[in-house]
């Protein structure tokens, strides 16, 4: 094999390698675009979650409201009839 044949073979191999690299770059660009879209959707989902989640203060406020409601219901159902009987309203 002479020098020209070796250069031709090397040149052919480089062209094949270049074509394969072009295909790989195109594939990676497509994956990159899909990854960008997925990341954007993920960021939007996290923003929605953050805007709707309950903070510790929200939970404490609701707990206090529930305790107040339960105490009020107890007073209404247990003590009010006795008070009314005591004043003769029944």
Full-model pTM: 0.44
As a whole number of angstroms, the longest Cα–Cα distance in the chain is 124
13: Cβ contacts below 8 Å, ≥ 6 apart: none
Would you state the pLDDT for residue 3?
66
List the domain range (segments joined by +) for residue 5.
1-53
Do 38 and 59 share a domain, yes or no? no
Would you state the pLDDT for residue 5?
67
Residue 52 CA to residue 48 CA, distance in Å, equals 6
Would you state the pLDDT for residue 71?
92
Do 81 and 70 share a domain, yes or no? yes
Predicted confidence pLDDT, tens digits, the chain (90 residues): 666 666 565 666 666 766 777 888 888 888 888 999 999 999 999 999 988 888 899 999 999 999 999 999 988 888 888 888 888 765
Do 46 and 75 share a domain, yes or no? no
């Amino acid at each position: 094999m002479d020098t020209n044949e070796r250069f031709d073979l090397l040149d052919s191999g480089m062209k094949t390698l270049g074509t394969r690299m072009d295909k790989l770059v195109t594939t990676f660009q497509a994956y990159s675009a899909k990854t960008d879209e997925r990341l954007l959707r993920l960021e939007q989902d996290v923003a929605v979650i953050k805007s709707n989640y309950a903070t510790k203060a929200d939970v404490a406020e609701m707990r206090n409201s529930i305790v107040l409601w339960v105490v009020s219901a107890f007073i209404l159902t247990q003590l009010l009839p006795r008070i009314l009987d005591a004043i003769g309203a029944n």
